[in-house]
Chains A and B, each alone.
Chain A
Amino acid sequence: NAGVTQTPKFQVLKTGQSMTLQCAQDMNHEYMSWYRQDPGMGLRLIHYSVGAGITDQGEVPNGYNVSRSTTEDFPLRLLSAAPSQTSVYFCASSRDSAINIQYFGAGTRLSVL
């Protein structure tokens, strides 16, 4: 069982570039979420999804887009990267909500120059 898989592990972008962070889970989980973690800070929720076709904003959604066309995949898109988006990004999934056990991907370390 692979669990939650994030790609890439590392990425360097120039300001203004766009990119997609991939997240896939093989546990048939309905709930998926994206967090960012800045140095010395806690996790902040960017977007989440409660099932295919259903997404909602979290605490810090600006500058990011998501979609959920399948149960397995929940990609995060940076539309026009800014240095303020330099962070470590984590994808997580759980059976159906934030109440249940959360399974995290290994993270993507993103630097925007």
Chain B
Amino acid sequence: KNEVEQSPQNLTAQEGEFITINCSYSVGISALHWLQQHPGGGIVSLFMLSSGKKKHGRLIATINIQEKHSSLHITASHPRDSAVYICAVPRMDSNYQLIWGAGTKLIIKP
């Protein structure tokens, strides 16, 4: 069983819809990362959070440490949000290695 599980694997939605992507992890963590990989391949860090909630534009990330769960929300989705969204957490035994989720492929249709 992967230590980081993302759901759904694939998500197709219409422009304007509210999007939620989930990430569950099985180990205690000091931080959780959300990243975006564009269709062209580039990877961009969206959030790093260790508690509560962070917001950047139309993106919101939340984390519940007790439940070992994080969500990434996109409000008023747009076709340019189409990408793979990945969560990752540092290994318990090493702050220098990340455990990566498999990613959620999001397609927003106009």
Residues of A within 8 A of B (CB): 31, 42-45, 48, 50, 56, 58-59, 88, 90, 92, 97-104, 106-107, 109
* Bound form: Cα–Cα A7–B103 in Å: 26
Residue B59 at the chain A interface, CB threshold 8 Å: no
Contact, CB under 8 Å: A98 / B102: no
Do A42 and B100 touch (CB < 8 A)? yes
Query: Given A59-B97, A100-B31, A109-B41, 10 more contacts at CB 8 Å?
Result: A31-B96, A42-B100, A48-B96, A97-B90, A97-B95, A98-B91, A98-B97, A100-B48, A102-B45, A104-B44
Alpha-carbon gap, A104 to B98, bound state (A): 14
Q: Which of B87-110 contact A (CB under 8 A)?
A: 90-91, 94-98, 100-103
Tell me the nearest residue of chain A to B89, going by C-beta: A98
Residues of B contacting A: mostly: strand
Residues of B near any A CB (own CB < 8 A)? 30-31, 33, 35, 41-45, 48, 86, 90-91, 94-98, 100-103
Task: Kindly list chain A residues whose C-beta atoms are within 8 Å of the C-beta of B31.
Answer: 99-100
Report yes or no: A42 in contact with B97, Cβ–Cβ below 8 A: no
Please judge, given known A-B contacts A42-B100, A43-B100, whether A98 and B95 are in contact too, CB under 8 Å.
yes
In whole angstroms, what is the CA distance A86 to B45 when docked? 25
Interface of A is mostly: strand
CB-based nearest B residue for A92: B43
Q: Which residues of A contact B96 (CB under 8 A)?
A: 31, 48, 50, 56, 97-98
Which B residues are CB-close (under 8 A) to A109? 41
* A107 / chain B contacts, CB cutoff of 8 Å: 41-43
Q: How far is the CA of A25 from the CA of B84 in the complex (A)?
A: 25
Are A103 and B45 neighbours in the complex by a CB distance under 8 Å?
yes
Q: For residue A90, which residues in chain B have a CB less than 8 angstroms away from its CB?
A: 43
Closest Cβ of chain B: how far from A74's Cβ, in Å?
A: 13
User: B94 — which chain A residues lie within 8 A by C-beta?
Assistant: 98
Taking a contact as CB atoms under 8 Å apart, the answer to whether A48 and B97 are in contact is: yes
Q: Which of B45, B48, B101 contacts A42 (CB 8 A)?
A: B101
